[in-house]
Structure 1
Amino acid sequence: MGDPFGIIGVIGVAAQVIQMTVQVGLDWKDAPSDARAFLLELRTLQTVLQETNKNITQNPDFVKAFEDRHSTILSQLGDPSKETAARSLLSAAEVELKNRVKDLTKRSQSGRVSWETLKGAFTAKKTRDAVENLNRQCQALNSMAAIDAIALGASTHSKVLETQKAVEEVQQHQLNQVKNTEEKLILEWLTPIDYAPQQVDFIKRRQSGTGQWLLDHPDFRDWLQGDKGTLFCPGIPGAGKTILTAVVVEHLTNQFHNDSNVGIAYIYCNFRRTDEQKLEDLLASLLRQLTESQISLPRPVTELHERHKKKRTRPSADELSKALQETCASFSRSFIIVDALDECQAAQRSSLVKEAINLGARRGVNLFMTSRLIPEITDKLDRSCWLEIRASKEDVERYLEDHIQQSSSAIQKMQGEIKTAISDAVDGMFLLAQIYFDSLKSETRPKKIRAILKGLGTQIADSGEKQRLELLIKAYDDAMQRITEEPRSRDLGIQVLSWITCAKRPLTTTELQYALTVEPGDLELNEEDLLEVNDMVAVCAGLVTVDEEGDIIRLVHYTTQEYLQRTQGKWFPNAEKDISTICVTYLSFSQFETGACATNDEFEERLQNNPLYDYAARNWGHHARQASISSKDAICLLQTPSLREASSQALLIAKRSWHWAYSQQFPRYRTSLHVVAYFGMVAAVAELIAAGAIVNAKDGDDSTPLHLASWNGHATVVQLLIEAAAMVNAWNKDEKTPLHLASSSGYYTVAQLLLKGGAKVNSFGDYNRRPLHHASRNGHDAIVQLLIEAGADINAEDRAERTPLHLASWNGHATVVQLLIVAGATSVGCEDKRGITPLHYASQKGHNAVVQLLIAAGANVNDKDHDDSTPLHDAAASGYCTIVQKLIATGATVDASDIFKWTSLHFASRNGHDAIVQLLIKAGATVDAKNKDEKTPLYYASLKGHDTIVQKLIEAGATVDTKDKYESKP
């Protein structure tokens, strides 16, 4: 690098001056003091200039550091073509020092050289001036460097702060990602069931403007504008209730999409989805949807997850219900939409209606429900909140207009006739309009079209549901007749309908494609033969549709399913056998000969690559049982251990497992007899027993075939196994006998057979529970009675010292509680290990009928558990107003306190239960009661923002400025 700064020249000249004294042989120690001072100063200045040169002139990083900012040094010395004060001083010093070199050279050549000879060169005024100027310049350079350092430091600090901020943002982003991942896992744990794809599909089917009459109806507007209440919309089958429900969901979503204080959740009940629409599933789905709309997971959900994740258990319906209510309370408004209550399983329907009504009664919660007119549902609902759903003539005509435009020119020319004829014939039954139009849409001759229109069934206005269903059945008959009259597509149409009708769960389009491609005896599948989805739909005369978002192929309506199930013997009598044969053929393909997969990844890859694998493995035996198939029809699958193991893996692993090796969590070593006993295949069981199968063989869980048959309720198989000397009291790894399993699952006939076969009624099982514990916990009253009559110990205690009465009370099984009390249960006031009585459990869970039964049987309403909590504490904390009333009326001590000095009023105030606070105040509760922290109910009500309760407490005389032990006030 050159000398852009003018420093190198000065350094060189200064070095020459200093070296001259050495070259002439003078000793530094002999130098006069003034000469020595001069040279020392010059040497110091040289060092300063050298360091400046090294750290600036020869340091490209310095120049680069100031590329985008001002530098004091660079402004003075940076540009060689620019004359500055600093450069002038350096130049002057260099010139004068050069003169001193000349002078020293001249003096050193004049005879004998001494310090005295050279002294004049060092003390000359110009020399002194030059060195002083050089000194000042070095000081100036130091000052400039200091200024630059400060500026650079400040800039660096700014950049450090920026970098630190960026790092913090990255860290926060990473933390948010981790949090989001954790929250997603929790939501998936809660339930993987998603109704959004169905919502999208339903809205896609809606013609523009459909359902506007409902949104404009005064009853709907009143419901929408109110802050609580229920709107029940009954309708005949096929009236279009589901589409209108989707319209309501879309309307609410659009109206409140920017309002985070409004929660919206919806479920579409479907009679084909029984495996994922138990009460717990439905409540979990509502809870998940409300949770997803919040910035972070609400406390009730995280607490629920924490409570169950370590034990790998699932939350109960009561826990989910409570969490759902608390989550609803966190919104200013919540809309809960439930479609097709009538399609919910009969065993779950009553509980779902109860839960829905309880939600709809809460302030800030609006409930919208649809259903057929079923007394089990309608008897529980106030008629003042009803709004009947019918397909309006305008909606039917919109549908017809849209589909006519996609049809033949003959259909389009007759648009007016078709619209009038069909809309008059259906009278509010949308489904019928779809089927009627499908019957003529492919016709091209006006004469034929008019003949079809003339033959349509005509409804009488306001006719009853029975008459409407008769017309629907006739329409289905006509559709099936059209299918069977098409020789080229008849077989495929029947196959499609038989699979969809008889499948044990809804099928994806891919599953059905593969199912229809497999033929009996195939050794592998040729994917070139896979049918197009449109072809499968086209041959079914409008009875089949595809939910594109969910990729589900299904019948157009549940009445279609009911019709085909009822007429199965006419249209496809061998469907169960045919489906079973296809499933067995598929499971016998060579790709499954390697047996069970060793890892999760391998298993998931197998599922991905073999679309029919999951369905076939889980359901082939159910179809075989219904078709009374013998073991010979599944001989390859049953007698090949690797194939048996591969199918068992898909059959038995839990679909909702978060275990790191979930694919290995299934029992190995199941024999052929285990398999057919599990599915209840009577003929196959008899054949294998006759052929010498080991009746008491144990699988990897120590379960025998009798365990599996008892667990699944296959009474005839149980009888066959008992007659073949099966051990009725054998324990599996969970320490359960077959009687434990039958009692827990509710299979009365099986339990009866086992008892007759010698099963011990008081056999200890897991957790020291006996069969009566299991039957009582799950509410199987008939089995409870059977076990009592067989000599069951009604007061037996499990490991937690809970009796059957404890478990029945906890789960709200009033009939079982009554049976146990009548049978002489002495445990009405019995305490478990934590001092909790049956009345505590019933009060905590909100089971009114059980509470009344226990009190009538002599339960003490003031019993305390080991935390000194009473049933009143539990009911008040959980928000069960009717139970609080009952307990107070029976003599419960209103001001009873637990070990932390909490009263019932503390709990009710903290948890926001307005009505209970009012009840407790009216009953004489002390409004200024203090707990161990000296906090009052008013403190907790204020802390939680329950303004109404705060007002009630103050009106009742609560002290506003009272302090707790930490000097905090409400």
Structure 2
Amino acid sequence: MDPLSVASGVAGLLCLAIQVGVTIAEFTSSVKGASQEAYKLEREIQAFSAVLKQLSEFLQSEDADPIVFEPTSVLLVATNACDKELNALQKKLEKYGKGDRVSRAIQRLSWPFTEKENRETIDAIHRWTQLYNEERMEVLGWLSSVAHNEKQNDTLRRRHGNTGMWFLELAEFQLWLKGDAGNILWCKGDPGVGKTVLAYVSSLAIDHITKTRKDAGVVFFYFDFSAEDEQTLEQVISSLLKQLLLQLEELPAPVKQLFDRSVMKGQIPQVSELQELLLSTAKRFDAVYLVIDALDECKAGDCRSELLSALQQFEISMKLLVTSRPHPEDLNESLGHALQVKLEAVESDISDFVYKKLENRKTKKILGKDEKLKEDIVTSIVDGAHGMFLLPTLQIQAILDQTTKGEIRRCLKTLPKKLDDNFSDILKRIGVQPPSERDMAHRVLMWIAHAKRPLKIAELLHGLAVRSGEHDFDEDDLPCEDLLVEYCLGLVRIDPASLVVRLVHFTLQEYFDKNSQSLFPKRNSEITQACLTYLCFDAFGDGPCLSDEEYESRLDTSPFLQYAAQHWGDHARETLEDDYQGLAIEFCGKGPNLESAVQAMGAGNHLYQGYSQRFPKSYTCLHVATSFGIKGVVEALLDQGVDIEAKYEDGETALCIAAERGDVEVVRLLLDRGAQVEAEGNVGKRALHQSAWHGHEQVSKLLLDKGADIEATDPQKFTALHMAASYGQLGVIKQLLDKGANMEVKNLWTQTALHRAAVCNHPEAVKILLDNGADAEAKDYDGSTTLLMTASLGLLGVVKLLLDKGVSVEATDKWAQTALHKAALGGHLETVKALLDKGANIKANNIYGETALHRVALGGRLEVVKLLLERGADIDAADNNGRTALLMAASNGHLEVVKLLLSKGAKGNPEGIALLMAAPGDRLDLATRLLDTEAIKTTDECGQMALLMAASSDNLDVIKLLLSKGADIEAKDADGKTALYRSASFGHFDATKLLLDKGADIEVRERSYAHTALYDAAVGGHFDVVRLLLNRGADTEAKETVAGWTVLHWATAKGDLDLVELLLDNGANIEARNGNGGTALEMAEWVSHSKIAELIKLKMENAVYIGEDPKGENELSNG
């Protein structure tokens, strides 16, 4: 069935879902005290309708044209099931909503479902929603968990009247918006302006562009001083990428590929990969607007410098609006060239704000009809604002606290004119409140100012309610939320969207930081004791929760648990041991409570099913104390005789944890107490690997002095030097080299430390290794040198460094590809220029006879094609199969490149080129007419390539036509892929079946990594095609050449339980080992895919040996 037909069914289902939603909404809005179940069902229907709308729009778009849906496809089966269930639901609801029955009986109307029926309905709809949205949200959730809209919505909600609207009319903003004044607008505001006016500017700009530029992508990031440790460069780029992807109807293939690759290797993607994806995704929009709010609140150091560097790249393809304070030097250096505007709070905004505040009921009664006093208040505050918005917000609070007109007049005369003076004045006013109110305000300010992350109001209330020495929580001790804000006299506020409680401004945080010792001398001691007391409560004595639902229920009733578990040690490190050590030892001795805390430490946010169980098992009290770096507690536990070599389920000892943290004192203590320096931790990494990875020089020195093996390798054959080079840890690299580390050791992928530093884009690390004699011509598993690898990735800085060091520009990999071939295929224009400037041979051929022009034509990179032609590339050079660049471009549908080559005089058969352009589209008539002429034959290059293109686009009619005319079914493209391989890798069931029926070779392998059609169909997630290939006898034992994985290894690493089961049911060898010697079971256990591991074990238990192969390896068969 074609997409438009399916779209029609989905659209009908959407209408039905909306109709059901309206009926339920009528019930919930009309019936007083409508049940919570009714509201839950209403929300579920709304969510389901939103997903259906998005799906319907996609199915009607051009992107869906190549897709064909089988009657048995998941989408059609689910749509039919949804339709049946929703119709039944609507009929039942209609009994209660027809004619006058509702109007007569609405007040006594009862919900027409039992609790069980309602729950089953909600569960079913929820499953459908997940089914339609699962893959998209899995990828997006994996990318970023930042709730990017919360701050935007909260800022817009708090804006008074027309505050900030003047910004949209500024000449600078309009010039930037229209693209007449460069791509960066830097809005600068002094302290006191920033967090109010600047946030309004950011939110207004975002809102304005979103509403007026429907064709543009809009992304943003709000920095916040109170969450600076959580705002890393990875999080910023991931959040921006996620926002951009949410504005697309489907995920681009490179995003899905990165997700699959990262899942497969169990790795977090590098920032450079995320940046590249962000830039490539941005090209899918007519324009992209990026707003960065409060950039100065991004933590100074690596994060901010790397972000500023990234913004320079983004400036090329995006329009950037940045707000910040003006004085940070690094910002001035990076943004000095930008269009700039100085922002101040305008008088009209301040005046509107003050007038609105004076409408306060109490103050309005005091002022009565005294308009003169009201004007005096507004004038005094506006005149003293000096372009700041914060100062009026503090001063008006002082006015509102007065009880007579005389007090207001006297207060006006003594209003502090500086921010710090205002803060001091407010604290003095807090100090004269009744003792209980004063003490509560003091504690609230202490907690907010010193919490390790922003606290939600429920967390704060529970933290404040903890009483020393208690074993249970008493709800009667919870403070009143509204009164907390009142007691603090305007210094705190609660975000309505996120429910996070915050200080009114970051300058107040700076004030507290300066005066913390005098204002809050016992801050960390009090918070530590509250956290530990909470964790010792009997409520957590049953140990960790066994399901997500149980865990969420626990957090609902004990919202402070997660903060207490994750940060008690952070506060403990900053206070005296005597203040908490006894309580810490008591907590460590309560096994079930400790396990409950470990679950809360590791569970994180709700991103996927089973998240609550993803915490380290067998995590001892020594692991916990070490992870926080609390030396006194570690020492006390060792004195009690705890096992210093204990490993939790991922295999880490306390020494590995301390080395990863860079905790010199704890590492020294553990070594002095006999910890084994060579003990292997997480996935085979030792303490030295961990310290090198994270750049901890002092810890690395301690470990080396204690005899750590400098050449020890992990299961991927990484040495400590590999680790340090991969992450650009310059100090550790120098240290290891001084200690004699071997630079030429190769990992599992035959990469040296120089390879790792180069591909991870660390130019300084590359320079250090080269200066110390590293072999720049060393080759990895596919024969690539560092230059070849970095040219392929377009890492211009490293490429230039290598070229300046004199590396061979003509070095080739095992396919005889030069750096120029690789850079051209990747479309890396500047890298291609750099290579040509250093004399790269533009006519060099790989083993297939292809030049760089062939490779770039294959990729369709127009600007690089232009450059190569300008530099003298042979436009008509043919590869070993007689294919020219023109044929390459045409056979891959790159129309603009075809036009350029033809305009430059490229020779070619015009009818053949036309056939190639017609094959992937719905142009059977044109293809037939072309083949009926004498000018083109199915046996020549154009005819063969046309078959490949038709297979790629699932064009069954053209495939049949070409085969009937004699096209070679085994013809291969430049990558060695046949029509069958292409159709399978794209998930085209009908085309794959047709080609198999016509005798296509099912075991054909592409030339780069020896993937089979089965392997690529599995990687693409094309379950039906995988099943088809297995039914036709596809070899499940075929291994790719990178890591020696079978398709079972890949499915296991990805965590695809259904695919693993399908492969096992079709005889996949459980004992097959990859290039590292690992089985699928070992891989499942390594990446914590417990259900897959259980399935494999079950299959092994039900298996019988049927013999041995010639190599002596056991074969298994289900018995």
Shorter-chain TM band: 0.7 to 0.9
1:766 Cα shift?
3.4
Q: Is the 8 A contact 2:223 2:231 kept in 1?
A: yes
Tell me if the contact between 2:562 and 2:600 (Cα under 8 Å) persists in the aligned partners.
yes
Contact 2:245 2:251 in 1 (8 A): yes
What letter is aligned with 2:602? L
Separation of aligned partners in 2, 1:900 and 1:214: 59
Cα distance in 2 between the residues matched to 1:353 and 1:942 = 41
Is the Cα–Cα contact under 8 Å of residues 912 and 941 in structure 1 kept in the other structure? no
Tell me the SS of whatever aligns to 2:773: coil
The answer as to 2:536 corresponding to 1:582 is no
Opposite residue 357 of structure 1, the aligned amino acid is Q
Separation in 2, partners of 1:530, 1:263: 45
Q: Which residue of 2 aligns with 1:652?
A: 602
> Residue 248 of structure 1 corresponds to which residue in structure 2?
205
Q: Deviations over 1:860-914 (max 9, x none)?
A: 2222233444333443444443322221111222344556666544555666655
Q: Is the 8 A contact 1:777 1:808 kept in 2?
A: yes
Separation in 2, partners of 1:393, 1:387: 17
Match of 1:790 in 2: 739
Q: State the partner residue of 2:397.
A: 438
Q: Deviations over 1:779-799 (max 9, x none)?
A: 111111111112211222111
Question: Which residue is equivalent to 1:303?
Answer: 257
In structure 2, what is the Cα distance between the partners aligned to 1:783 and 1:217? 51
1:350 matches 2:286: no
In the alignment, residue 857 of structure 1 is paired with which amino acid?
K
Q: In structure 1, what is the equivalent of residue 699 of structure 2?
A: 750
* Partners of 1:300 and 1:326 within 8 A in 2: no
Residue 740 (structure 1) aligned with residue 689 (structure 2): yes
* Contact 1:628–1:683, Cα closer than 8 Å, also in 2: no
Task: Name the residue aligned to 1:419.
Answer: 378
1:571 to partner: Cα distance: 1.1
2:424 corresponds to which residue? 477
Q: 1:297 to 1:438 in 2, by over 3 A?
A: same
* Deviating 4+ runs (over 6 angstroms): 165-169, 171-177, 941-946
Match of 1:11 in 2: none
Contact 2:844–2:852 under 8 Å retained in 1: yes
Residue 709 of structure 2 is matched in structure 1 by 760
Distance in 1 (alpha carbons) for counterparts of 2:164 and 2:563: 37
SS of corresponding position for 2:650: coil
Query: For each residue in 1:939-969, what CA deviation from the matched residue of structure 2 results, as whole angstroms up to 9, or x when unmatched?
Result: 748976775x666555544458363623589
Q: d(CA) in 2 for partners of 1:849 and 1:625?
A: 41
Structure with the greater alpha carbon radius of gyration: 1
Q: Does 1:718 align with 2:655?
A: no
Select 2:574's aligned residue among 620, 626, 633: 626
User: Does the Cα contact within 8 Å between 2:228 and 2:297 map onto a contact in 1?
Assistant: no
Offset, 1:309: 3.4
Range that drifts further, 448-457 or 539-548: 448-457
- CA 1:383 to 1:650, structure 2 compared with 1: closer, same or farther past 3 Å? same
Structure 1 window deviating more from structure 2 (283-292 vs 863-872): it is 863-872
Which stretch has the larger CA shift, 688-697 or 436-445? 688-697
Count of matched residue positions in the alignment of Structure 1 and Structure 2: 787
Would the alpha carbon gap of residues 950 and 223 (structure 1) be closer, same or farther in structure 2, given more than 3 Å must change? farther
Deviation at 1:748, TM superposition (A): 2.0
Match of 2:268 in 1: 314
* Counterpart for residue 142 of structure 1: none
CA distance in 2 between counterparts of 1:959 and 1:405 reads 80
**1:671 matched to which residue of 2?**
620
Contact 2:887–2:942 under 8 Å retained in 1: no
Matched residue, 2:885: 936
1:286 matches 2:247: no
Instruction: Summarize deviations over 1:284-322 as a string: whole Å, max 9, x none.
Output: 222222222222223332333333334443322122212
Aligned twin of 1:592: 540
> Residue 400 of structure 1 aligns to which amino acid in structure 2?
V
Whether the 8 Å contact between 2:584 and 2:633 is mirrored in structure 1 is no
Q: Distance in 2 between matches of 1:599 and 1:456?
A: 56
Offset from partner CA, 1:104-148 (integer Å, 9 cap, x none): xxxxxxxxxxxxxxxxxxxxxxxxxxxxxxxxxxxxxxxxxxxxx
User: What fraction of aligned residue pairs are identical, expressed as a percent?
Assistant: 32
Distance 2:549 2:159 in 1: 41
Aligned to 1:367: 320
The equivalent position to 2:476 in structure 1, one of 513, 517, 528, is: 528
CA distance in 1, matches of 2:185, 2:642: 60
Alignment partners' CA distance in 1, 2:440 and 2:838? 69
Give the letter for the 2:558 counterpart. N
Compared with structure 1, are the counterparts of its residues 654 and 511 closer, same or farther at alpha carbon in structure 2 (3 Å cutoff)?
A: closer
Matched AA of 1:352: L
Matched, 1:926 2:926: no
Q: Which amino acid aligns with 2:163?
A: T
Say which SS state the counterpart of residue 576 (structure 2) adopts.
Answer: coil
Aligned partners of 2:698, 2:845: CA distance in 1, in Å?
49
Amino acid at match of 1:484: G
The SS at the match of 2:573 is helix
The match for 1:117 is none
SS in 1 for 2:617: coil
**Contact 1:500-1:506 at 8 Å conserved across structures:** yes
Partner Cα distance (1:636, 1:205) in 2: 46
1:26-85 deviations in Å (ceiling 9; x for gaps):
xxxxxxxxxxxxxxxxxxxxxxxxxxxxxxxxxxxxxxxxxxxxxxxxxxxxxxxxxxxx
Counterpart for residue 283 of structure 2 = 329
Please give the alpha-carbon distance, in whole angstroms, between the structure 2 residues aligned to 1:860 and 1:621.
53
User: Structure 1 residue 770: deviation in Å?
Assistant: 1.2
Q: Corresponding residue for 1:127?
A: none
- CA change 1:192–1:166 in 2 (3 A) is closer
Q: 2-side partners of 1:652 and 1:168: how far apart?
A: 35
Q: Which SS does the other structure have where 1:821 is aligned?
A: helix
The DSSP-based 3-state class of the residue aligned with 1:591 is helix
Tell me by how many angstroms 1:573 deviates: 1.4
Q: Identify unmatched segments of 5+ residues in structure 1.
A: 1-160, 459-470
* Displacement of 1:339: 1.2
Q: Are 2:219 and 1:268 aligned?
A: no
1:900–1:329 CA distance, 2 compared to 1 (3 A): farther
Stretch moving more, 689-698 or 237-246: 689-698
CA distance in 1, matches of 2:515, 2:504: 17
Deviations 1:656-676 (A, max 9, x none): 764x65444433333333221
Q: Which residue of 2 aligns with 1:851?
A: 799
Contact 1:279–1:351 (CA under 8 A) maintained in structure 2: yes
- C-alpha spacing 1:674/1:350, structure 2 compared with 1 (3 Å): same
CA distance in 2: counterparts of 1:910 and 1:764, whole angstroms: 39
The one-letter amino acid paired with 1:349 is R
In structure 1, what is the equivalent of residue 930 of structure 2? none
Note the aligned Cα RMSD (angstroms): 3.0
Gaps of 5+ in 2: 1-70, 84-126, 917-940, 950-1119
1:568 aligns with 2:516: yes
SS of equivalent residue, structure 1 residue 611: coil
- The one-character-per-residue Cα deviations of 1:204-224 (angstroms, maximum 9, x if unpaired) are 111222222211112211221
Alignment-mate amino acid for residue 530 of structure 1: L
1:866-885 residue pairs with structure 2 within 5 A? Answer: 866-885=814-833
State how far apart, in whole Å, the 2-side matches of 1:742 and 1:319 are. 24
Distance 2:485 2:859 in 1: 54
Report if aligned partners of 2:858, 2:885 keep a CA contact under 8 Å in 1. Answer: no
Return the offset for 1:587.
0.9
| Amino acid in the other structure paired with 2:780 | D
Say if 1:236 and 1:904 are closer, same or farther in 2 by CA, change over 3 A. farther
Q: Deviations over 1:463-512 (max 9, x none)?
A: xxxxxxxx323322222232233234221112111111111111111111
TM, length-normalised to structure 1 = 0.76
Map 1:105-124 onto structure 2 (within 5 A): none
Alignment partner, residue 722 of structure 2: 773
Cα deviation for residue 450 of structure 1 reads: 3.6
